[in-house]
Chains A and B, each alone.
Chain A
Amino acid sequence: MEAINEGQSLSLAPESAREETEAMDEQPEQAMTETMEAAPNWAELVEQIRRDDAAGMEELYRVFARGIRFYLCRQLGPQELDDRVHDTFLIVVQAIRRGDLREPERLMGFVRTVVRRQVAAHIDGLVHSRRQEVEIDVNTRLADRSWNPEQSLASRENVNLMRRVLESLSKRDREILVRFYLHEQSQEQICREMELTETQFRLLKSRAKARFGELGKKRLQQKALSALFVRTYSGMRH
């Protein structure tokens, strides 16, 4: 059933595409609840890894697995995510054992650097391989292979729905959202050109943002319910 959960955020991705991304949520329960408060003693953890202590490896995985998956998935998408996470851990562990991490308390920063390098290397590789494809056939169009036709249609429907939500806002609310999110204007520029004080801007933006979110969720709910109705109704006729 396509019913929308209470706190569901706006998403243009069709349901089937979202399921792929949700693969990154398949993590041990413990890691799901990880917070800064539960962060371990970094120096001790690094020492355990240097000693090849299995408990240290487990702890490293528990603390960073979800975050690394999240970062890689956000930057590169869900394809080959498991392999990429595994490669990242491998690089981190090998580097620690080689003694490349001189300040153990900087482990978080070190992991971040490794993950960012992984992302950069992947993008470099992608650019290189696409350049080669283009050189082979200059008329080749680089197709978006991420969604199938049905998913693309569903996504287009969602975009149209969001456009109608935007249209239904007041002119001023719409202008603030468009300037801030689409044209990425600074608060100062928006205030100057729309003749708003900083406080007015904050209030208006907050209100417009909330309104767009509420209406968007409502419309998505209606769409899900109407799809369910159509399926149920056509099922009764057959």
Chain B
Amino acid sequence: MSANCTQYSEELVESYSLGRLACEEGARFEEHLLVCADCQQRLSESDSYVAAVKAAAVSYARKPNARAAPIGPTGFFPLTPNR
């Protein structure tokens, strides 16, 4: 993250990006977001990052033979697709 605002942590910005902030906290951050260019930039970067990881993970899970691979500890995601 490259912006300077220190009012909200990187972790909080990421939580907002993932839609995981509690209502009140989310509302406070959204108000701040309306007037803080730094946090708009930080959130854009976080949104891009989250989208990239999600897309990569979905693509990884859909690879041919991936579903036949050994299943991870939680049983829903193959950690090492067959190559």
Contact = CB atoms under 8 A, between A and B. Distances in A.
Interface residues of A, number: 49
A122 B51 CA distance: 23
Interface stretch (A3-11, A76-84, A140-148): A3-11
Interface of A is mostly: helix
Interface string B63-81: 1000000001110110111
B57 A181 contact: yes
Contacts of B54: 181-182
Interface of B is mostly: helix
B35 interface: yes
B37 A162 contact: no
A115 interface: yes
Interface of B: 2, 5, 7, 18, 20, 27, 30-38, 40, 43-45, 47-60, 63, 72-74, 76-77, 79-81
Interface of A: 7, 9-12, 31-36, 39, 63-64, 66-68, 70-71, 74, 108-109, 111-112, 115-116, 159-160, 162-163, 165-167, 171, 174-175, 177-179, 181-184, 193-194, 209, 212-213, 216
